[in-house]
Structure 1
């Protein structure tokens, strides 16, 4: 029996692995940070043998409530990820699997590899209406890249999408991929209509270093990028620094920041009602967007989510608040679950990469409902 996490986004620490009935593991912290929750590892064992694994020390993880009602993701081929029934006792997550093949992988959510990220960018740039732009270099020396989709024109609305500021929230890049693929489909009427009126600026992975390192929430320096939007720096948060500079150069009419939520088993949005610049116009745009998304997909709901900020009390270090305030624009944080959508549960797969992609496509329907009202 062998356990390994020495690969892209791998993260696990082996405490005990000499008995398949009692495998004890723990999750490594993000570099220079106390955050930990993302795991991704491979197990090689005997076919048909039941293996029982216990991930420990979770009471002090970033979001202990994220383990309640959560089922582990597993895959034999690293393409199809299914759920394994899991039990949380307040500190340990226990799950068992009789191996159908000698090698199986487990992860907190379906991983989105750096290689797939590079493939996404390369494939997209081959489309006539898409340009790949280099924004800058991360602390680990990786490219921070942006896709510009649509023909740029001052008269067109400028719509920005960022994903995966928190690298363990891989569902965010799966969602971004769905958006990108639909926008680049020249036979899709929604995409064609949107690109007549808007240009999309999409950063599908804001945190490539954290993604490869197997981090939950931070970049290579242990910095939570979604608390850096007031005063980003090249030393600590070049990812935010470069994107914010590009926004200032180009302008922003609408902004969606794609995330995953560990605890809440729903898709929802968090608006910018607490920013000083909030107005009746922004409230109307938020309402139009939500109503259109509710009509577009049963995967979205507006009953469960984060508490709304009081007027003028928004945290302006958070991306959607900072951008909404700086550009007086519609700005939403879009949250998807690590668990499942309790309104439309799927016991076999839970909330999945495929559902993320479809949700990304549906977000474009809601975007079309507001695009003509953005200015």
Structure 2
């Protein structure tokens, strides 16, 4: 149906179309802002996404006709996303953009074309793929950081609540919490260092021996066993023979260091240890804050629970956003786990101690 023959839209349609128009304009701006902070292929992809959003914008402009009115502002979440994109960029913003694409309401709206519905689904996958690169780069440090912070929050909250519930002096609770902070942070750092170093050493054991590379020019071309190396790595016999002939015919053998993988996702033992120490210590400090500021008894217990609860909700939501999962669900799960562990030790403290004064 041509624009001239199209029936006059209802007020509800005009409101909905104008909202779609504003959101498409805002989302295109987000992708352009993200593109300014990147270069190469990622920049080109983000600009293509912005162009696709502009095409969607034109669809709603055409439907609105003279009802288009003054430009409206996009949804609050889209405006917040744009603010973050202009100032930070990074995987966190891409993860938020991924969730924004997944929330598109076009699938249930007859005024949106089937191509637009498909576009939004594909856009979500494109943004997911871009975000995956960032997730891979940060996964080692992120794992250590999140694990360390949450371990510090939960373990030290459980410790101070359990000790505090026995009715001991506030100073005893404070020193117990600080001791738990230091002991836990050092333990986490040591454990993370050993874990990461062991993982890297295990993977490095699979790197080709440089001496084997140096031996390639001296192999007996008519009766060499180089093909067996490639077969042992999983190649078929024919593919292994072809690869062996290719390597042997090269004027300069490939250097061993060229084949070494980069274990960026794992990180280094030192960086993992430092991040674990820092994040555990920062998490473990929060439950002790009420006693540091002179609170005691039930007031300190409630204050510690509230502070740690807010931190657990925040870290759970961040994990949810970065992993592409619902942030509220992850936040509540984190809160339930932390409070559950703290409640057990608090009840034990009440059972074996006196009362909280």
TM-score past 0.5 threshold: no
Which structure is richer in relative contact order (CA contacts within 8 A, separation 6 or more)?
Answer: 2
Q: TM-score range by the shorter chain?
A: under 0.3
- Structure whose CA Rg is larger: 2
- Larger strand share, 1 or 2: 1
- Larger helix share, 1 or 2: 2
